[in-house]
Structure 1
């Protein structure tokens, strides 16, 4: 009995040593290798975005003033456009070759700017002073602190995993590919955080401004082609001359067809001859019938 116990103990000892050599992880090893999440303190990552719509006296002048204010605040203009929409237009004749055009149009401007976050309130206050009145104004705060921390921790985790895979003696393609993928994902996390930092530092504000309808009067060329035709007397004489020209062309065309004209004349007289002959014969036949009845 004692021999059997001793033999079992020896076998368990041998298998225990082999399992450690072959890479089996014990409970103590698992505890040692457990990922420790540090108590990382991340500053508030608040992304601010704002929108404003307001009425101004002149869209172009407002755009120039806005650009100056944005530069003075250390910001940049990301997008800008001006659009004029015709509301109504009218045109009437002044002289034979000129007309007066009156147009009513509406002008709108859109400007998207990147402003330092700490100066966003001062910037919106300056815009409110420039406007005739503000139609709408809004501010949105997006807290990205948790996402920022998640990107940091996941990036660190992937860097650690990539290094562990790199230490494995085997140079299999699968291990290399896995290590490269983990490195790429770590870079993506860093880039995401860089984008968050940029958006936190510079707030995006969209400005939509417009002015009252503008009426513009200008002298333009008369585009009615009928007014550029010659006077009635000149046109009458030109038509007479043109008619004589057409008549001569018809005569010349008939001259080219003289054979057809000749055939037509011969056919006319031939038909006429037979018609008259048949008429005389019918008259004679009718007369004879009447005489025979008497």
Structure 2
């Protein structure tokens, strides 16, 4: 009894150690310094993560990931949970039933955004769902110089636009010159607006990281026994009823013929009278021998 308890305890410890090791391995695979904001030191990084991995159950993992994203202030922008059928087979097991066998894989392509400083935490939380990691790509693109360049360009454009505006307002010009100046001013304003929009887009990408996940699970088999639809022959009457219906149909045809003949009584009467008169006069006209 004591030996059995020791073996059971050893097995439990080994199993616990395996689970802990698997969890730590998944965590290590998912974690990345590129996802951490600890050493940014004033730089502004656009962080993106792209991962593909197998899970035990795609639907349950999807719900867990969506809850995690919401918990850390993020939001889902795209999710496509679906079953991909690889094989479908129908086998008739009896005259009135068929066995349908379907092999399919459940998968989901998920895209969400989370605050930049929460990316590392979210990625580590997602690692708990990983059963087998296909790949993980995390990128950190420094956008500081691009934001600075956009800011400088916007200042230059704004200053040039203000000078043009003052020149147009103060100096009297011809109508054509004013129109050309106004068009040039509109072009400068459009350039300034585009630069501002680009800067806002970069700041949004810096503030919220984009994560794309591809989840899948082992192939499943679904079998369902369904009833067959009865053919037309199943509703045909028995031979005795068919013979009786044939007799009735023949009688109806005979009735129709008699009714049709009855409708021609006047023609038949004229034909009989004609035959009678023909025979009568043909006898009189015949010479006596």
TM-score range, shorter chain: 0.5 to 0.7
Work out whether residues 94 and 100 of structure 1, in 8 Å CA contact, stay in contact via their aligned partners in 2. Answer: no
Q: How does 1:48-197 map to 2 (within 5 A)?
A: 48-86=47-85, 87-93=87-93, 96=96, 99-168=98-167, 169=170, 170=172, 172-197=178-203
Residue 219 of structure 1 and its aligned partner are, at CA, apart by: 4.5
Are 2:212 and 1:206 equivalent residues in the alignment? yes
Work out whether residues 101 and 223 of structure 2, in 8 Å CA contact, stay in contact via their aligned partners in 1. Answer: yes
> Residues 247-267 of structure 1: CA distance to partner in whole angstroms, max 9, x if unpaired?
3454456557768xxxxxxxx
> Residues 16-61 of structure 1: CA distance to partner in whole angstroms, max 9, x if unpaired?
xxxxxxxxxxxxxxxxxxxxxxxxxx95332122111111111110
Work out whether residues 89 and 103 of structure 1, in 8 Å CA contact, stay in contact via their aligned partners in 2. Answer: yes
> Using the alignment, how far apart are the partners of 2:248 and 2:147 within structure 1?
91
- Asked which structure has the greater CA Rg, the reply is 1
Aligned match for 1:224, one of 226, 229, 232: 229
* Distance verdict in 2 for CA 1:245–1:160, change over 3 Å: farther
Name the count of aligned residue pairs: 216
Q: TM-score normalised to the size of structure 2?
A: 0.64
Are 2:241 and 1:235 equivalent residues in the alignment? no
Q: TM-score normalised to the size of structure 1?
A: 0.63
SS of match in other structure, 1:157:
helix
Structure 1 regions of 5+ residues with no counterpart?
1-41, 260-294
Please give the root-mean-square deviation of Cα atoms over the aligned residues, in Å: 3.0
> Residues 53-100 of structure 1: CA distance to partner in whole angstroms, max 9, x if unpaired?
11111111011100111112221111111111223333545684x655
Structure 2 regions of 5+ residues with no counterpart?
1-40, 265-289
> Using the alignment, how far apart are the partners of 1:255 and 1:227 within structure 2?
35
Residue 158 of structure 1 and its aligned partner are, at CA, apart by: 1.1
Work out whether residues 45 and 196 of structure 1, in 8 Å CA contact, stay in contact via their aligned partners in 2. Answer: no
> Using the alignment, how far apart are the partners of 1:217 and 1:204 within structure 2?
39
SS of match in other structure, 2:156:
helix
